[in-house]
Amino acid sequence: MKPTVNQARKKRAFTIVELLTVMSIIVILIGLMVPALNKVRRYARDVQQKAQFNAINAAVELFNNEFDGYPPSNALDGDGQAYCGSMKLCEALMGQDLLGFHTNSTFRRNGMDAAATLALYPPNIDGLTPTLRDNNLKARKGPFLQAENANAWRLQDIYGTTVGSFLPTTFVLCDVYARQMKNGQRTGMPILYYKADTANSYHDPNLAASMSATNSQGNIYNYYDNQSLIQLGKPWQATGTSGTSTAHKLVDPMRFYRNTQSTQITTTTRPFRADTFILISAGWDAEYGTADDICNFEWKYRE
């Protein structure tokens, strides 16, 4: 018979059944926790996105007070070149080089003045003579957002060098839902900006078929202000930028008008924010036109 003290000192190991039971419980707990943590993360991002929109709303109002009007959102610039609402918003609040909006700008994508003789946003401003450099910076207003918090990215950082008819070096403001893009950068999707045309009074989806980039057919908002940008597709997918697999649902103009229609007014169809502007983020799924889109109005998702 072994001594009692030796039996007390003998270590007892876990059995295989006990180990498997503990591991199963841990796996179950992790499975329960992960969805909850994802919901918390998503809620936090949504709050962050709404805060960004509040900052942009305030910045646009500062621009409006300074220049007696909101930034335009036309799909084209004065030369007929592709320069959409999202890009015009970034120029108005930050300038094309993020150093502030030049007061002589007429929102040309090449950064030239109205006479096409002077570069308002020179690519190397420090290369100018001290006098020209100082005069250029003195003619700027803003930036109305801090560059560190504006989340401004060039199109080539988001989509790569193939950006349709746009210039790859053009800046846009992006939302907070950063993800890995095909070119390796972690960015959000461009924030869509539409300015209300207060001279118009319609919000009719049935007019979309006859609308164009230069003719809204009397609608307060022109869907085509950002259509070319939406048509670039989903840059976070590994496939190309064409076909149903990469198309945003908001590529359908009918969806745009249904989801921006105010529910408070019932005697006629009116959009939200009919006298100012609307902002649209692609939301958590990075796809425009889905239920999780975040806007500066109450997004009422309708298929």
- Span 50-56, average pLDDT: 94
Number of domains in the chain: 1
- Kindly state whether residue 6 falls inside one of the protein's structural domains: no
Among the listed ranges 9-13, 92-96, 99-103, which one has the minimum average pLDDT value? 9-13
- Span 62-83, average pLDDT: 95
Q: How far apart are CA 146 and CA 294, in angstroms?
A: 22
What distance lies between CA 69 and its chain's CA centroid? 22
The chain-wide mean pLDDT, for the chain, equals 88
Give residue 63's domain range: 47-87+149-295
Q: Under a CB-based contact definition with an 8 Å cutoff, are residues 228 and 164 in contact?
A: yes
Among the listed ranges 14-28, 145-159, 216-230, 231-245, which one has the minimum average pLDDT value? 231-245
Task: Check pLDDT > 80 for residue 170.
Answer: yes
- Kindly state whether residue 218 falls inside one of the protein's structural domains: yes
% of residues, the chain, pLDDT over 70:
90
- Kindly state whether residue 140 falls inside one of the protein's structural domains: no
Cβ within 8 Å of residue 155, ≥6 positions away: 163, 166, 167, 168, 169, 170, 171, 172
Task: Check pLDDT > 50 for residue 245.
Answer: no
| Pairwise pLDDT comparison (7 vs 217), residue with the higher score | 217
Q: Which pLDDT band holds residue 33 (cuts at 50, 70, 90)? A: low
- Kindly state whether residue 2 falls inside one of the protein's structural domains: no
- Kindly state whether residue 114 falls inside one of the protein's structural domains: no
- Kindly state whether residue 99 falls inside one of the protein's structural domains: no
- Span 219-242, average pLDDT: 85
Q: Which pLDDT band holds residue 161 (cuts at 50, 70, 90)? A: confident
Task: Check pLDDT > 90 for residue 60.
Answer: yes
Q: Under a CB-based contact definition with an 8 Å cutoff, are residues 212 and 224 in contact?
A: yes
Partners of 186 in beta bridges: 180
Q: Under a CB-based contact definition with an 8 Å cutoff, are residues 145 and 52 in contact?
A: no
- Kindly state whether residue 128 falls inside one of the protein's structural domains: no
pTM of the model: 0.86
pLDDT digits (tens, 9 = 90+) for 109-129: 999 999 888 999 999 999 999
Q: How far apart are CA 127 and CA 86, in angstroms?
A: 29
293 to each of 91, 150, 192, how far by Cα in Å? Answer: 24, 19, 11
What is the residue whose two structure tokens read 């929102």?
107
Q: How far apart are CA 33 and CA 47, in angstroms?
A: 21
Among the listed ranges 15-19, 98-102, 132-136, 186-190, which one has the minimum average pLDDT value? 15-19
Can you give the pLDDT at residue 244? Answer: 39
